[in-house]
Amino acid sequence: MGPLRGLRVLEFDAIGPVPWAAMMLADMGADVLRGRRGVTADLKDPAARDAVLALARNAHVLLEGHRPGVMERLGLGPEACLAASPALVYGRMTGWGQHGPLARAVGHDINYIGLTGALHATGTADRPVPPLNLVGDFGGGAMLLALGVMAAVLEARSSGQGQVVDAAMVDGSLLLMAPILGRVATGEWLDRREANLLDGGAPFYGVYETSDRRHMAVGAIEPAFYAALLAGLGLAPDALPPQHERAAWPETRRRFAALFATRTRDAWCAVFDGTEACVTPVLSLGEVPGHAHHVARESFVPVGGVQQPAPAPRFSRTASVAGRAPADAHGGGDEALRDWGFDPEDPRLSALGRDGLTPPATPPPRTP
């Protein structure tokens, strides 16, 4: 199942973007050794290193998320692995990249996006607010890694040569910021928060509190959508300054806020339902799975007894693998080795631990 069926991915244990990227590939049908099924290896043991190199020979993709130089010290860097498998795509996930003054520095999502302008541009007028760890870890990291390795896989199929994919969260975050940084360069974007079209500055693109202390999301940018917003709020178009008169935005926002505060969130949902005002409820995390749209699209699937987001994107012919049980990250190793063309009794693999470990009592997040 899935468009990546037949692709073998060797994933080294890591946190954050690497397992998330591997999850994406596994959802699309790739056979990921470590996530869905796994083996354990003491990489400081030369015998284990040789066993891992044997696995690399049968892999199309290798994913790792250590600091620069770690895999080389273990004898499993790109040079060694590409010597063992010349067509291998060696995907490297780091925060700062493989070279540069910060390459060996520690950091987290908040540090990477702090150097790209993403953190500066997000939040209230008073202070930046981290947008969870979505921009650096997952959008700028895991998505970049998954796209990069698949581009390299396609190229390797024609050239027969593998290569290293240097995916850095700081690079990916910069790439996500390209439209905003471009507008800054041309003077279209003011270099402060809550002063622009998409950062909460525009009254027609923001969040408003309702009488029950919930919130509505408003995205009425286009003239027709803005007109529908005004109609839903009971405002005549000539009762307000022109939509894009920036100097009038604070007063318009205050008027909108006062109106939204007069009704509950559900009451406003009823007002705007079926209109083109681009006004929707801000759902709590607990409310998300039960929303009618997600239910109709079967956007959540039970995984290990827990409702979790279904694989995406959706394919018309080669459906992704939905609803697979979460991994016991170190289980199913013998079966996996057989599928990868090895005899589990192969003496080269004797240093690998494969089965018999106790799975966690609570199912982990869906990271196949």
Catalytic positions, please?
108, 137
* Residue (of 82, 253, 272, 90) closest to 167 by Cα position: 90
Cα-based distances in Å from 284 to 4, 63, 214, 306: 34, 34, 9, 17
Are the C-beta atoms of 271 and 280 separated by less than 8 Å?
Answer: no
| Residue listed under structure tokens 């520690």 | 106
* Residue (of 81, 179, 77) closest to 121 by Cα position: 179
Q: 120-126: which pairs have CB atoms within 8 A and are 24 or more residues apart? A: 120/193, 121/177, 121/180, 121/193, 121/199, 122/193, 122/199, 123/193, 124/193, 124/194, 124/200, 125/192, 125/193, 125/194, 125/195
Side chain identity, residue 339: D
